[in-house]
Amino acid sequence: MTDYRQIFASLKRSALIPFFVLGDPDSATSLELIKTAIDAGADILELGIPFSDPIADGPTIQKADLRALAKKITPAQALDLIAQATRYKPIPVGLLVYYNLVVQYGREKFFRDFKSAGGCSVLVADLSIDDADEIAPAAKAAGLDTVFMATPNTSDDRLQRIADMTTGFLYTVSTLGVTGARDTVSDLIEPLIRRIKAITKVPVCVGFGISNARQARQVADAGADGVIIGSAIVKIIEQNLDNRPKMRSEVRQFIAEIRKALE
């Protein structure tokens, strides 16, 4: 298991957690972008395996999934990209995956292979704590932490159960809805972080809808242990598909900016 609590404590600030869809826009570029993010100051990586029907994701990440799938990337190749990234530099990696991909790969083998690629924690986007027993034993046996989501409409007693099932960090959704960059950070986030902190010591990371340095700072000030930024980065990729050097330099610059805001 990874000592996430130790990682967050040693930072003495909110962790910067960029999200990428593995293989977007192609495997080689994807790896370069992930290395760029590491060099630009990412503390932890959240990486997603592309799926044909990503119901928890908004249009930006859906399109990234389809770009990667158009290049025929398989879950096995996606795990291999993770291995290459962690060989480049040791960094904690959380995985975001849709359940059907895990089921078809074979649960035990999937978690074992992700662990050997250097992975630390796994979040199955469409699997709630009610069915946690379908993955938790296999994930634990492989030495992986299990991450679950908490949302603004999660009841108090359910929040407690979610916190109890979570061993890595709680992935807290800042707003009702799917992933996607938004203009303002939801005012639901601060009360939610407070509610979570009152019942658990598990670190709290916030994602969905954080799209610039100011918002990242806001979420950090609200008490988040980590700030997950996905769609805003994926959007940079989408906007620079015909110019790879510019894509990389903009991703680098964007991540460095956020990092600075979190210092």
Partner 1 sequence: MKHKGRFGTFGGFYVPEVLIPALEEIEAAFDRYSTDPRFISELDDLYRNYAGRPTPLYHARRFSQQVGFQVYIKREDLLHGGAHKVNNTLGQGLLAQYMGKTKLIAETGAGQHGLATAMIGALFGMETKIFMGVTDVRRQNVNVHKMRLCGAEVVSVSGGTGTLKDAINDALRYWTAHVQDTFYLFGTAGGPHPYPTIVKHFQKPIGVEARAQCLSQFGRLPDVVTACVGGGSNAIGIFSGFVNDPQVRIVGVEGGGKGLATGQHCATLTVGTVGVLHGAQTYILQDENGQIHETECISAGLDYPGVGPEHAWLKDTGRVEYLCVEDEAVLDAFEWFTRTEGILPALESSHALAWVMRQKGKLSPDTVVLVNLSGRGDKDIGIVEEHRPLKEMPA
Binding footprint of partner 1 on the chain (CB under 8 A): 51-59, 62, 69, 74-75, 99-101, 103-105, 125-128, 130-131, 148-151, 153-155, 158, 162, 173, 175-178
- What's the rounded Cα separation, in Å, for the pair 54 and 51? 6
Which residue type, as a one-letter code, is found at position 203?
P
Whether residue 203 is preceded by a cis peptide bond, meaning omega within 30 degrees of 0, is no
Closest CA to 114 of 151, 141, 134, 132: 141
Residue 183 is a catalytic residue = no
The whole-angstrom separation of Cα 58 and Cα 230 is: 11
**Residue whose C-alpha is closest to residue 44's, from 121, 148, 135, 114:** 121
Q: Which one, 6 or 153, has the nearer CB to partner 1?
A: 153
Catalytic choice (43, 57, 65, 145) = 57
Q: How far is the CB of 98 from partner 1 (least distance, A)?
A: 8
Comparison of 38 and 232: residue with beta carbon closer to partner 1:
232
Identity of the residue, 125 or 213, whose beta carbon is nearer to partner 1 in the bound complex: 125
Instruction: Determine the distance from the C-alpha atom of residue 97 to the mean position of all C-alpha atoms in its chain, rounded to a whole number.
Output: 10
In whole angstroms, what is the distance from residue 236 CA to residue 231 CA?
Answer: 9
**Is 57 noted as a catalytic residue in this protein?**
yes
Find the shortest distance in angstroms from Cβ 12 to partner 1. 30
d(CA 151, CA 195): 11
CB of residue 69 to partner 1, shortest distance in Å: 7
Rounded to a whole number of angstroms, the minimum distance from the CB of residue 153 to partner 1 is 5
The nearer residue to partner 1, 152 or 223, going by C-beta atoms, is 152
The residue annotated as part of the active site, out of 46, 225, 238, 250, is: 46
Task: Quote the Cα angle for 225-157-8, to 5°.
Answer: 15
Q: What residues act catalytically?
A: 46, 57
